[in-house]
Amino acid sequence: MALRDIFKKCFVGYTKNSSILGFKQMTDPNTSITKRLAWLLVFGLMCGIGGYFLWYLWFGSLSSPLIVNMESSMYPISKIEFPAVAICNINIISKTALLELERNIFKTNVSGNITFSRIRQLGRLLDYSYDVDIESFLHEEFLNNNDGVKYEPKVISTMKKLAPKCKEMLLLCFWAGKKVDCESIFDIRRTNKGFCCTFNYILNYNAAGTPSKRISQVKRQYYPGPLFGLNLLIDPLIEDYTYTTRPGQGVEILIFEPTHYADPNSGRVSQRFVQPGQFLQLGLKSIKQVATPEVRKYNPETRKCLFRDERKKEYEDMYSYSACIYNCRIKAIHALCGCTPYAFPIVSDKPTCTLNDLSCLDKIKERLLLIYPIGSKNTEGLDREFQESLYCPQCHPDCEFTKHESQATKINYQHQYIKTLKLHRFLTLQS
């Protein structure tokens, strides 16, 4: 009772001296009941409007907690990872390697017609082009998935043997202002373009079950300018063409983050095409997005992005939106065709796709390129799109990433020295 009397006295004193509009009038006993009710209605309306705006601001900030602003336009180049570069010949099967493999299989010299009609069909494993007549070309050597090599089935090892050799394509290499041995900085790795010559690609593409481990340290450029970037002299080996993935002649160049999969359909990949007799200079502009520690306090569903060290069970410390989409695509192929295409990472015990699986891959290849938009509010009329696209709700964009934009300059290069040595390409990458 003592506490109640104290509270009552304090409340009466507050109402008599309150500066809140209407609060003093509706508690004044000398005011008529009608006016007191009117003031009560106005006061309640004010409180309701104020509460609504507080609720709107609070939940609005939670639903969109990220604010992107420019911290500095003079970021040190040494703190930016140099992008990975893949040099992919549009010819995925070397004529020389094809003839050699044919002789090893049949233990005899055979005509070019038999060679092209049999082993050449393996190029379909990359573009999934199916023909009913292909069954007449099937050979048990091409259907065997066991090559006795850990993590490298027969199809993968065969396609690696058939791919154009990096030591034949890469004639001169300069990195960080110094001439280097091309084989010391380039490896032959699988991309969605087949086997390519890759630089600074540190993602472990072959380890089954652990596709996220690094295989080397990322390279950085410490001084700006073309002389301190990556300079290459490339021969596209036109005379060795057998199975091309696109019309024309030349090489495709993929520029992407070193820890991402080299797939233009899965993330930030810059793609360029160079024809014979051209000088190509790519000036790189890099934008690095860094998230403050406060972002981690929000739920991933709220901030709508993930850090690299999240989802360690699947990706260890190298999660990326590109890897997530790629894994989603692999699971779809597993569910529909029961195998893994040779250009994809080995992330399960599913067999590698052979020529027998082309019919299934050909049916779903369009679906693999489409991703159903996550978070769409109005999906009316999108039933067919939902059925014919990948649905990957578990994939969120990266909270931190480096975006590389390239500006290309091409010049037809007809120098007599280049003609004499049959050197058809000069590529420069600079930051």
- Comparing 183-187, 357-361, 407-411, the range with the smallest average pLDDT is 407-411
Tally of domains within the chain: 2
- The per-residue pLDDT for 197 is 93
Is 34 domain-assigned?
yes
- The per-residue pLDDT for 212 is 47
Shared domain for 396 and 294, answered yes or no, is yes
- The per-residue pLDDT for 133 is 64
Is 231 domain-assigned?
yes
Q: Which domain holds residue 27?
A: 1-42
pLDDT higher at 59 or 142: 59
371-382: average pLDDT: 68
Split at pLDDT 50, 70, 90, the class of 347 is confident
- The per-residue pLDDT for 40 is 81
Res 210 pLDDT > 70:
no
Tell me the range of 24-33, 50-59, 371-380 where mean pLDDT is highest. Answer: 50-59
Is 50 domain-assigned?
no
Is 66 domain-assigned?
no
Shared domain for 113 and 15, answered yes or no, is no
Res 358 pLDDT > 90:
no
Is 139 domain-assigned?
yes
* Distance, CA of 349 to CA of 325 (rounded, Å): 19
Res 392 pLDDT > 60:
yes
- The per-residue pLDDT for 423 is 42
Shared domain for 105 and 209, answered yes or no, is yes
Res 181 pLDDT > 90:
yes
The secondary element (H helix, E strand) that includes residue 28 is none
The sheet carrying 170-175 orders its strands as 178-180, 170-175, 230-234, 425-430, 278-289, 401-412
- The per-residue pLDDT for 87 is 93
Q: What percent of the chain has pLDDT over 90?
A: 12
- The per-residue pLDDT for 61 is 64
Shared domain for 29 and 114, answered yes or no, is no
Is 48 domain-assigned?
no
For 60-90, how does the pLDDT look when each residue is reduced to its tens digit (9 = 90+)? Answer: 666 666 677 777 777 888 888 899 999 999 9
232-253: average pLDDT: 89
Asked if 23 and 43 touch (Cβ cutoff 8 Å), the reply is yes
Res 211 pLDDT > 50:
no
Split at pLDDT 50, 70, 90, the class of 275 is confident
Is 126 domain-assigned?
yes
Average pLDDT, the chain: 79
- Comparing 101-110, 194-203, 223-232, 342-351, the range with the smallest average pLDDT is 101-110
Burial (CB < 10 A; 0-12, 13-18, 19+), residue 256, is buried
* 282: nearest Cα among 411, 176, 408, 412: 408
Is 383 domain-assigned?
yes
